[in-house]
Amino acid sequence: MKKNTFIAISLAAVISLTPAFTTNVSADVNTDIQNQDKKINDIKSKKTDLQSDLSGLVADLEKAQEKAKSLQGDFDQTGKELKKLNEDIKSINERIKERETVLKDRARAMQKTSNSNAYLEVILEAENLSDLVGRVSAVNQLVESDKTILEDQQNDEKALKTKQTAVKKKQEEQATAIHEYETEQNKIEAQKAEKEAIVAQLASEQATAENEKAGLVNAAKAASERATALRAATSSNVGESNSSSSKKTSTTVEAASNDAAPTNVAPSSGGGYSSMMAAASAQLGKPYSLGASGPSAFDCSGFTSYAFRAAGVSLPRTSGGQYAAASKISASQAKPGDLVFFNYGSGIAHVGIYVGGGQMINAQNNGVKYDNITSGYWAKYLVGYGRVANF
């Protein structure tokens, strides 16, 4: 008790003897508060500007998605047009064959009676010279008419095939445009992630100023890492070293694909993999639609997200995001259940599920299918593999 009293008296004495010190400390604290308030206001101002930028990026992303959906609609319409042309070509070929059969039968009949006898019958049965000229003219016209009809049908077939080639080229151009807009979306997503990372960093600084730093620092770090990974996913040379050996000489636009499960594939074990693959294979044959995540239609990342969700695994929504989230592995390490990524030249723009045996199941322009990734179209753009779950 005496000791505490002594300390209190001593402190009072010190304070009473140093009023200037107390005033200076108070002034310093006020200055610090003012500086901190200014810092917080500056941070808030920067955050407001960045939020405005983010709103613009969201608007750009929505425009890109709408454009891509429009392109997808054009692609689907061209597919219907191509299907109709194929049917018309098949029909006209059947008519040509039928007409050729009639001509051959008529020629055989003429051979049996011999041409001279046939014309002799025409002459003998004619009632007069005028009738004879008419009969000969009719036979010649009939033969010439058959020949003209056959030539017209062949010309029609040629015209249809020319149009078929043009429509196929148009469809290839549309598929390329869809790929470009998918890549553009990933780029906007990366820019958006970079802005979000800066906003998160500013929020962390504001939280530090307001004594709420801990949670937001981790969020800022995670956002920064995600932005870095997404930025890497949009690089034109992403995975270049991993995929150079896979890019063979292939120029066809359509990958060899089918709806049947590949054979001689050693499946991964575990209920998670089985659940994921059951969900994936159940979607075979369903159509592709940009931005769709099932269950009636899918785009590439919507399909992988849907399948892995059945195994309790949540994936980012875009192919670039999934690439950023995946642990990169080599081709020799890849096993069924890993993701496989592709780069058309401007960053990650397609993803599928590796099922082993050099094949994947994926949602591509022609719908949900199995595709070979070791040769042909997909091998040309293969980047590498990523693991998002340990099945």
14 is a domain residue = no
Of 186, 343, 350, 372, which one is the catalytic site residue? 350
Q: Kindly state the average pLDDT of the residues 128-135.
A: 66
What's the token pair of residue 269?
């074990």
3-state secondary structure 15-60: HHHCHHHHHHHHHHHHHHHHHHHHHHHHHHHHHHHHHHHHHHHHHH
Residues 56, 188, single domain; the answer is yes
pLDDT tens-digit readout, 182-215: 888 888 888 888 888 898 988 888 888 887 556 6
pLDDT tens-digit readout, 286-316: 999 999 999 999 999 999 999 999 999 999 9
Residues 217, 281, single domain; the answer is no
Per the annotation, the verdict on 179 as an active-site residue is no
Of 179, 186, 300, 343, which one is the catalytic site residue? 300
Show the DSSP H helices in 114-128 as ranges.
Answer: 115-125
Of residues 273 and 35, which shows the higher confidence score? 273
Per the annotation, the verdict on 41 as an active-site residue is no
Q: Which structural domain, as residue segments, surrounds residue 208? A: 29-223
260 is a domain residue = no
Q: Kindly state the average pLDDT of the residues 64-91.
A: 85
138 is a domain residue = yes
Residues 185, 325, single domain; the answer is no
Residues 211, 307, single domain; the answer is no
Mean pLDDT is highest, among 98-107, 115-124, 147-156, 304-313, for 304-313
Instruction: Give the model's confidence band at 163: pLDDT under 50 very low, under 70 low, under 90 confident, else very high.
Output: confident
Q: What is the CATH number of the domain that holds 380?
A: 3.90.1720.10
What percentage of residues in the chain have a pLDDT greater than 70?
73
Residues 150, 65, single domain; the answer is yes
Pick the last residue of a domain from 223, 240, 257.
Answer: 223
pLDDT higher than threshold 70 for residue 119: no
Distance separating alpha carbons of residues 307 and 35, to the nearest angstrom: 52
Q: How many residues does the chain have?
A: 391
Average pLDDT score over the chain? 79
Residues 129, 276, single domain; the answer is no
Of 179, 186, 343, 362, which one is the catalytic site residue? 362
**Per-residue model confidence (pLDDT) at position 71:** 83
Q: Kindly state the average pLDDT of the residues 76-93.
A: 85
Residues 207, 314, single domain; the answer is no
pLDDT higher than threshold 80 for residue 262: no
**Per-residue model confidence (pLDDT) at position 217:** 56
Question: Strand 257-258 to strand 359-364: parallel, antiparallel, or no bridges (unpaired)?
Answer: unpaired
What's the token pair of residue 50?
């960045």
Environment class of 35 (CB within 10 Å of its CB; exposed 0-12, middle 13-18, buried 19+): exposed
Residues 117, 185, single domain; the answer is yes
Instruction: Give the model's confidence band at 231: pLDDT under 50 very low, under 70 low, under 90 confident, else very high.
Output: confident
Per the annotation, the verdict on 128 as an active-site residue is no
DSSP state of 389: -
Lowest-confidence region among 88-97, 104-113, 264-273: 264-273
Torsion region of 357: left, alpha or beta (phi above 0 gives left; psi -120 to 50 gives alpha): left
Residues 33, 154, single domain; the answer is yes
pLDDT higher than threshold 80 for residue 229: no
263 is a domain residue = no
261 is a domain residue = no
20 is a domain residue = no
307 is a domain residue = yes
Residues 181, 60, single domain; the answer is yes
Q: Kindly state the average pLDDT of the residues 275-281.
A: 97
pLDDT higher than threshold 50 for residue 12: no
Residues 67, 164, single domain; the answer is yes
What percentage of residues in the chain have a pLDDT greater than 90?
31
Q: Kindly state the average pLDDT of the residues 11-38.
A: 61
Residues 217, 278, single domain; the answer is no
Pick the last residue of a domain from 194, 223, 252.
Answer: 223
Distance separating alpha carbons of residues 287 and 386, to the nearest angstrom: 25
107 is a domain residue = yes
Instruction: Give the model's confidence band at 338: pLDDT under 50 very low, under 70 low, under 90 confident, else very high.
Output: very high
Structural domains in the chain (count): 2
